[in-house]
Structure 1
Amino acid sequence: MNLPDHLTLLEWAATATTALSVWLAARRHIATWPTGIVGCLLYGALFASTQLYADATLQAFFVATSAIGWWQWRRAAQATTGATATAARAPLRPAHWALLLGGGVAVTLAYGALLLHWTDAFAPFWDSAVLTTSVVAQVLLMQGRRETWLFWIVVNTLSVPLYLNRGLDVTAGLYALFWLNAWHGWWHWGRQAKVAVAEQPSAQPA
């Protein structure tokens, strides 16, 4: 599938803006949020034009949650110093994992069925899986949880072949880089958590 010139330009603009946002997220920099909002608006228009309706809907969710995340990280930054975001959070408990995974599968099937029967969506269940996993990853990112990067790894793994099938070669290449960046984010946030623990004052005996 070859994209018209105007969509190719839109794809490049969305790619550049979103790449910057994701790199900033891996560095825990608060500027990830406003940059991400611009990227989401551009990608929303692109996905709607290429019949990836779940992905287009997802961008609206990202815009709203990015505004909330921006506010949350700003409050956290003001409580400490600098433009870095929240401190590391405790790992997810098994009950949380079960809720996220079980709910994710249910939403993927339900929304995929909706797209299948009511739209001309390309690969509705595949598209739905990208949406659902992205929602979970975004919520965990807003909370400053390291596990967000595991879900972004899954998102990027699903997204690359999907976008290639729609002729979005530039976007597919971007998400391949996102896949690498997600591993970097997982490592970098883990290192920050270890440093934070090491810097905590030891409890003094009574």
Structure 2
Amino acid sequence: MHFFDIHNIFFKVLNYPLSYLEFFGVLSGLIAVWLSAKANILSWPVGIVNVSLSFFLYYQVQLYPDMFLQIFFFVTNILGWWRWANPRPGEEDKKLELRVSFLERKQFIIVCLIGVTGTVAVGATASRLHEWLPMIFALPSAFPYADSFILVMSIVTTFFMIQKKVECWIIWIIVDVLATYLYFVKDIMFYSIMYAVFTVMASFGLWNWIREYKLWKQSAV
């Protein structure tokens, strides 16, 4: 378990001690998101590696909602891998994988409502974990509501990513900007940089998925 200790330093960058855990978590995360932006099915197995490493990191910096989120991501990476590889009849693209599509407006409004109510509920719970389970959570949750917003919206948009909905990238951009700030404040500098890069990748993913949708529409005519 020494590899998973955030104090086990791999090397230093500008006097910032970078652990093995943070380095390989960032590396696998960047690769997974880049593959997602390219609509490459290999993003899912690489994502499994990333969330496994991130689980241990978030626990050690008291970002408990983010820690629990990795369990969800582990399961959904498996589901997403299967869903993209096994589209229903009529959902295929030229690679015989699930094609890109858009959400209905009603679905997007529901997403916004879930984001607000879910953040309040999960944030209230996260802020009390150190009181309810002091043997597991010795320190209070850091930024419970901001962290909970990341958790709730990441869950929602992951389901849309599994279905290859274009709007998932809009939500990811918002989540990534907030996460960049949050991890900077918590002094997980390389994770903060990673999420800044994620923001750029998500912008590319939004553009690329819209382009793929238009190309499919043209070929379907």
Matched, 1:71 2:74: no
In structure 2, the partner of 1:128 is 148
Measured after TM superposition, the shift of residue 4 of structure 1 is 2.4
Q: Which runs of 5+ in 1 are unaligned?
A: 202-206
Counterparts of 1:173-192 in structure 2, within 5 Å, are 173-192=193-212
What RMSD over aligned residues (CA atoms) do the two structures have, in Å? 1.8
In structure 2, the partner of 1:113 is 124
In structure 2, the partner of 1:95 is 106
Partners of 1:92 and 1:32 lie apart in 2 by: 22
The answer on whether the counterparts of 1:45 and 1:56 sit within 8 Å (CA) in structure 2 is yes
- Which residue, out of 5, 29, 36, partners 1:25? 36
Letter of the 2:100 partner, please give it: A
Measured after TM superposition, the shift of residue 85 of structure 1 is 4.0
Measured after TM superposition, the shift of residue 117 of structure 1 is 1.9
Q: 1:39 to 1:77 in 2, by over 3 A?
A: farther
Letter of the 1:10 partner, please give it: L
Q: 1:138 to 1:77 in 2, by over 3 A?
A: same
Q: Which runs of 5+ in 2 are unaligned?
A: 1-5, 10-17, 131-139
Partners of 2:214 and 2:189 lie apart in 1 by: 38
Matched, 1:160 2:180: yes
Measured after TM superposition, the shift of residue 127 of structure 1 is 0.6
Partners of 2:183 and 2:81 lie apart in 1 by: 28
Letter of the 1:123 partner, please give it: F
Q: More helix by proportion, 1 or 2?
A: 1
- Which residue, out of 57, 60, 77, partners 2:71? 60
- Which residue, out of 5, 8, 12, partners 1:5? 8
Partners of 1:65 and 1:173 lie apart in 2 by: 24
Once the two structures are aligned, what percentage of the paired residues are identical? Answer: 30
Partners of 1:8 and 1:167 lie apart in 2 by: 13
In structure 2, the partner of 1:86 is 98
The answer on whether the counterparts of 2:93 and 2:99 sit within 8 Å (CA) in structure 1 is no
Cα displacement string for residues 130-176 of structure 1 (whole angstroms, at most 9, x for unaligned residues)? 10111112111000000010010011011011001111000000100
Q: More strand by proportion, 1 or 2?
A: 2
Measured after TM superposition, the shift of residue 80 of structure 1 is 5.8
TM-score, normalization by structure 1: 0.90
Relative to structure 2, which stretch is displaced further, 68-77 or 150-159? 68-77
In structure 1, the partner of 2:136 is none
The answer on whether the counterparts of 2:93 and 2:216 sit within 8 Å (CA) in structure 1 is no
Letter of the 1:160 partner, please give it: T
Query: Which secondary structure does the structure 2 equivalent of 1:76 belong to?
Result: coil
